[in-house]
């Protein structure tokens, strides 16, 4: 299934609800790269793309790909062997011809150009090539993305009357910019995603309108402590955890093509940072000052609690062998040089209910909200007049 990468402008009304992933909450806090939901790590230099629409409830979040935290990495697709390449399905020789209008929603057209634009973004975001896809795969992607366009048009229409000021939009843009190391990188990524500042503002205004509208439509009751306790008692296994540590780090990044001189320079910088920390300087302050990890100025390098298997081996081995309060010597990973400080440890065992009560309550509430959002969207679609004109397979 073709999906685009995590984005900075998801156009979905349900994003207002800040809905969590539909799985029981885990007792351990994930690394910052996985704050929304567990995902595979990307190269630290990667940045998010600006997407046109999505149908799944989502938030405008810090870009996962931009994080340089040492989460478990997956080998890039480019490393595939010739045998892997041979297994790719051969593309069909006869191209798919889309009609000029691929759907109408309450009399409003969705054009093939709109569909092709988000298809291209989705394919590029997944690391695939359109030329490698069969007609069946393309049609599957077209149908999926068309449903997202239809839902976006329905929600945008319903939310069009919601009032959003220029100040509201500017505040959202400011939040997004904070997720990038500097203004230049933000502008570069915006350009690469085929967006202009004006288009970004338009997308954000639509998103904010959708948020306001969805909030007015969804009403859920509070979760009681008894409900949270029942969930805990019925899912004890979900709250078993291995040993975890809480650590902070200062990262001096290295690009994949870093030269030996770059490696030495960054190691020297990491060594000096470790020396300053060992002499008593505030580690959080040093992380804010020196760390090259995106978001370090806000997080102060704090990674929260994590299990050993959630980090790349070099980082995990160093963190789990340290004593509380110790400052590590520079540790080399695929992301660069890290200076690590462990601040707390937790032994393996079942997390007591009081420690996860708030987390369970939040999960149950978000699940209820998600279901309510889906019901609103379902009714909105059922009440609309929708016609689609995509060609069929074969």
Fold match, 13-221+368-388 / 243-347 = no
- Determine the topology of domain 243-347 in CATH: Chitinase A; domain 3 (3.10.50)
Give mean pLDDT, residues 286-300.
Answer: 94
Sorting pLDDT into bands at 50, 70 and 90, what band is 14?
Answer: very low
Sorting pLDDT into bands at 50, 70 and 90, what band is 9?
Answer: very low
Instruction: Please check the confidence at residue 363 and state whether its pLDDT lies above 70.
Output: yes
- pTM for this predicted structure: 0.52
Instruction: Please check the confidence at residue 36 and state whether its pLDDT lies above 80.
Output: no
Q: How much is the pLDDT for 219?
A: 84
Q: What is the pLDDT of residues 160-172, one digit of tens each?
A: 999 999 999 999 9
Q: How much is the pLDDT for 95?
A: 84
CATH 3.30.470.20, domain 13-221+368-388, yes or no: no
Contact 306, 30 (CB under 8 A): yes
Sorting pLDDT into bands at 50, 70 and 90, what band is 278?
Answer: very high
Q: How much is the pLDDT for 192?
A: 82
Of the listed ranges 6-10, 115-119, 286-290, 337-341, the least confidently predicted one is 6-10
Where exactly are the structural domains of the chain? 13-221+368-388, 243-347
């Amino acid at each position: 299934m073709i999906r685009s990468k995590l984005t900075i402008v998801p156009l979905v009304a349900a994003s207002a609800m800040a809905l969590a992933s539909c799985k029981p909450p885990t007792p351990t806090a994930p690394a910052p790269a996985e704050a929304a939901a567990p995902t595979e790590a990307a190269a630290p230099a990667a940045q998010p793309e600006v997407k046109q629409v999505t149908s799944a409830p989502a938030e405008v979040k810090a870009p996962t790909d931009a994080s340089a935290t040492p989460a478990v990495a997956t080998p890039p697709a480019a490393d595939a062997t010739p045998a892997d390449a041979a297994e790719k399905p051969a593309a069909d020789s006869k191209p798919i011809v889309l009609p000029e209008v691929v759907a109408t929603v309450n009399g409003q057209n969705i054009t093939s150009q709109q569909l092709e634009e988000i298809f291209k973004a989705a394919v590029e975001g997944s690391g695939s090539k359109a030329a490698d896809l069969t007609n069946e795969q393309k049609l599957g992607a077209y149908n999926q993305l068309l449903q997202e366009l239809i839902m976006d048009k329905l929600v945008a229409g319903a939310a069009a009357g919601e009032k959003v000021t220029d100040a509201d939009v500017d505040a959202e843009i400011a939040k997004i910019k904070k997720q990038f190391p500097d203004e230049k990188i933000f502008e570069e990524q915006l350009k690469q995603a085929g967006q202009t500042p004006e288009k970004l503002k338009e997308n954000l205004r639509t998103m904010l309108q959708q948020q306001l509208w969805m909030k007015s439509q969804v009403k859920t009751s509070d979760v009681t402590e008894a409900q949270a306790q029942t969930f805990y008692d019925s899912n004890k296994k979900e709250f078993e955890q291995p040993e975890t540590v809480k650590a902070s780090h200062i990262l001096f990044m290295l690009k994949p093509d870093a030269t030996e001189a770059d490696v030495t320079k960054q190691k020297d910088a990491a060594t000096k940072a470790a020396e300053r920390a060992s002499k008593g300087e505030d580690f959080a302050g040093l992380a804010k000052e020196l760390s090259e990890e995106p978001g370090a100025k806000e997080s102060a390098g704090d990674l929260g609690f994590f299990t050993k298997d959630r980090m790349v081996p070099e980082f995990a081995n160093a963190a789990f062998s340290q004593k509380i309060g110790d400052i590590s010597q520079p540790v080399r990973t695929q992301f660069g040089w890290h200076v690590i400080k462990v601040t707390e440890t937790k032994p393996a065992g079942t997390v007591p209910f009081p420690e996860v009560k708030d987390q369970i309550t939040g999960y149950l509430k978000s699940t209820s909200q998600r279901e309510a959002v889906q019901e609103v969207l379902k009714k909105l679609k059922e009440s609309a007049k929708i016609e689609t004109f995509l060609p069929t397979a074969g």
